[in-house]
Structure 1
Amino acid sequence: MSNYNGGTNLDPTLIEHVQGICHARGVRLTPQRKRVFELICSNRKASSAYELLDQLKVSEPNAKPPTVYRALDFLLEQGFIHRVESTNSYIPCGSCLNKSHFFQLLICDKCGDVVELQDESLISLLKKNAENHGFQLTNQVIETHGVCQACASDKQ
């Protein structure tokens, strides 16, 4: 089981890794796409498109919403980020190696922290349940809302 938990500092080797994947796939990580990815990775919490736009405007004052949305579409398509459906926000993928993989997101309703979990036993069980019903999975988003450990300890 692996996970992504926001709030990490941007690792330059991650950007190099993503650039290498883009090169191998024959796609371009343009400066704007790279910058949006860097912003998502630098943010402590999941980021909305408009939060990203506000941050992008610091270095690119003329940036417009389509700029961010095009970058997000590219990053999603390449599997470098995930969209948190229930909050319409974005987090970096904890494992950029595959264009698509199944995962679970744990979302704290108090602080907004998002943790990405990749638990093969859970995924295998869900896949088996789908197959038992003659259903072939193409996409799966599991979002679980609750209160993280840090926020739960604050209550006490």
Structure 2
Amino acid sequence: MPHGEHHQAHGDRATMLRDAEESCLRRGAQLTPLRRRVLEMVLEADQPVGAYALLDRLRAERPGAAPPTVYRALDFLLAQGLIHRIERLNAFIPCTEAAHGHEHDHPHQFLICRNCGRTAELSDDSVVAAVAAAARSAGFSPARTTVEVEGTCGACAAAG
């Protein structure tokens, strides 16, 4: 069954941060203050956010922050399934499914609006099944499926 709306629709930031901390603890991982702050900045963004935009914001708080600082934090958050990387945009969004106890490697699809940049995360097993069937027909054995769809969101279409 499909899930997902705009990436912050599943709860407030405080709840999502608390859920992220609990998820990390269950896995024996540590959400350090820096990692937590980078996650918080991704949650605060109203659209996918790039690593250098995160670095600029972090430098305002921690002048010595360098690109490896942000990239290590993002790698950790990706590995924990707390954020996703939107390859097409080279940017990051929070995982809307993480707070609902889904595995951090769940199948996902992204709907990316060309006009406003908003991105919706879906987790529709029928999409994964269709892609896997097509891949098998071509003699390919898929390991992971991520689909990124560009278009126009409902709000932009309604506006005009």
Identify which of 80, 90, 95 aligns with 1:78: 80
How high is the sequence identity, in percent, across the aligned residues? Answer: 39
2:115 match? 110
C-alpha distance in 1, partners of 2:27/2:66?
27
Please state how far the C-alpha of 1:134 moved relative to its aligned partner.
4.5
Letter in 1 for 2:147: I
C-alpha distance in 2, partners of 1:84/1:105?
8
1:125-144 aligned at under 5 Å gives the runs 125-144=130-149
Q: TM-score, normalised by structure 1?
A: 0.90
Number of aligned residue pairs: 155
Letter in 2 for 1:88: N
C-alpha RMSD over aligned residues: 1.7
C-alpha distance in 1, partners of 2:59/2:66?
8
2:4 match? 3
Structure 2 gap segments, 5+ residues each: none
C-alpha distance in 1, partners of 2:4/2:20?
18
C-alpha distance in 2, partners of 1:78/1:150?
32
C-alpha distance in 2, partners of 1:23/1:112?
33
Please state how far the C-alpha of 1:54 moved relative to its aligned partner.
1.4
C-alpha distance in 1, partners of 2:128/2:141?
13
Change (3 A) 1:95 1:107: same
Please state how far the C-alpha of 1:14 moved relative to its aligned partner.
1.5
C-alpha distance in 2, partners of 1:39/1:14?
12
C-alpha distance in 1, partners of 2:41/2:111?
21
Please state how far the C-alpha of 1:136 moved relative to its aligned partner.
2.8
Q: TM-score, normalised by structure 2?
A: 0.88
Structure 1 gap segments, 5+ residues each: none
